[in-house]
Amino acid sequence: MSSTTLRLGDVAPDFEQESSLGTIRFHDWLGSSWGVLFSHPADFTPVCTTELGYTAKLKDEFAKRNVKVLAVSVDELESHHGWIKDINDTQNTTVNFPILADADRKVATLYDMIHPNASVTATVRSVFIIDPNKKIRLTITYPASTGRNFDEILRVIDSLQLTDSHSVATPVNWKDGDDVIIVPSLKDPEIIKQKFPKGHTEVRPYLRITPQPNK
């Protein structure tokens, strides 16, 4: 099995793999939900422990966005179960999502999570956001030494879900509730009035600011 470079808009590769919560058939498991697939260098490592603990605490935030979370580590299932006990204890939480036991590197290879110039065995901290059509909408790769910002991952999901349903883009440092940008391709003044009844400010013909339309 050889790795491939996955690009935005590609269909996320399907797989079947054991997890801490039973067998995962990825596309079936996702169903009509959004998904966050994220990898970890190894079990019983400090940065990963904090990441998984924080992700568990975000359960309600992911749920209200219709997002399922799936972690990947290349250690065995028995190791995962021991590690989950440590995460729950040290992070004062309960891990409530599956962790894939990817000992054969099947998922790590499909998603190009092992970067040999960094490590020939451990996965880097990859993140994939996948939409209900199983299309990859975001990829981020962090080094093993740097913990991810899951508030940023939620922010991106908010942006993707908003821009999928409205003719807008989100500006720098945007957060849910902030003003947004009308997409340049929308030019008809009457359609703009209909879509954005709160009005808009034209800074330049290509830069038109409007209140977030679903608020």
Task: Find the catalytic residue in 24, 30, 36, 48.
Answer: 48
What is the C-alpha separation between 63 and 112, in angstroms, rounded? Answer: 27
Task: Using CA atoms of 104, 109, 113, 117 in order, give the dihedral in degrees to the nearest 10.
Answer: 100
Give the sign of the dihedral formed by CA 173, CA 176, CA 180, CA 186. positive
- The b/e string for 164-181 (b: 16+ C-beta within 10 A; e otherwise) is eebbbebeeebeeeeebb
Angle, alpha carbons 84-88-92 (nearest 5°)? 165
To the query of whether residue 48 is one of the catalytic residues in this protein, the response is: yes
Known catalytic residues are: 48
